[in-house]
Amino acid sequence: MNAALRIRLLMELRRSGVTDTRVLSAIEKVPRGAFVSEPFLDQAWDNAALPIGCGQTISQPLVVALMSQALELTPRMKVLEIGTGSGYQAAVLAALARRVYTLERHRALLAEAEARFRALRITNIVAMLGDGIKGWSAQAPFDRILLTAAAPELPPALLAQLGEGGILVAPVDTGPDRQDVVRVRRTAGGFSTETLFPVRFVPLLPGVPDPVA
Ligand code: SAH
């Protein structure tokens, strides 16, 4: 809990375009150190992505903040996240919304994330093993959907599970070696998409690699 490092990070986020005060206080409040492994603890408040096992990464705080801001969350919303990973982004969303549903395809990462939610007494996150490309139809529709892994196209099942007036934010492959975060709004008439900023995410992969035998 290094207050100086935390303030340094918040100032960097503000300088880089994070203006939503609810998002800034969520970043301030969620202890990122609880979501990284021991060797990286001293870098927990750095604005950097870090390895979390299974070849995956905890996203850079700036990207977590900008994507959270792009979702335009209010406290009553029901949110679906694809790619639980460390659980950090889910914890930030949980500070901004009513309930967060999060799907992860790696069993080991899911178990670690769930243990962190319990240790931090975060009770409004429901995490499940599953292929996020298919979404979570039993809990649909969602007010907001966030993907934290990149795909060439937005999975149709996720667009279908977005409620009217809803917003989906996702990194999308837009060229060789290029990804951009897009924001999709669902209106009565259909979907409208805008491109927000370039990013670097791990790929959205199909299926669950280690199903129960
Ligand atoms: N949100 C995470 C970072 C995610 S890294 C955090 O805050 O730490 C991307 C995650 O998406 C990885 O854990 C990866 O295993 C997961 N993932 C990739 N494809 C997926 C899919 N189809 N369904 C569910 N999770 C997926």
pLDDT at 2: 81
Residue 211 pLDDT: 58
Question: Where do we find the tokens 């408040």?
Answer: 45
Mutate to test the pocket of ligand 1, among 105, 122, 199 (most ligand atoms within 8 A of CB): 105
Alpha helices in 40-139 (DSSP H): 61-70, 88-94, 107-119
As a whole number of angstroms, the distance between CA 129 and CA 104 comes to: 5
Q: Answer yes or no: is the C-beta of 56 below 6 A from any ligand 1 atom.
A: yes
Cβ neighbours of residue 3 under 8 Å, at least 6 residues apart?
A: none
Q: What is the pLDDT of residue 32?
A: 98
Cβ contact 148:201 at 8 Å? yes
| One-letter amino acid of 194 | E
pLDDT mean across residues, the chain: 96
For domain 3-199, the CATH superfamily is Vaccinia Virus protein VP39 (3.40.50.150)
Q: How many CB atoms lie within 10 A of CB 108?
A: 11
Reported as a single tens digit per residue, the pLDDT across 91-143 is 999 999 999 999 999 999 999 999 999 999 999 999 999 999 999 999 999 99
Pocket test for ligand 1, best of 84, 114, 131 (most atoms within 8 A of CB): 84
> Which atom of ligand 1 sits closest to the CA of residue 131?
23
Residue 212, pLDDT above cutoff 60 = no
H helical segments located in 44-155: 61-70, 88-94, 107-119
Residues designated as active site: 59
pLDDT in tens, 39-85: 999 999 999 999 999 999 999 999 999 999 999 999 999 999 999 99
Cβ proximity of 204 and 82 under 8 Å: yes
- 11: amino acid identity, one letter: M
Would the pTM count as exceeding 0.95?
Answer: yes
For the chain, the structural domain boundaries read: 3-199
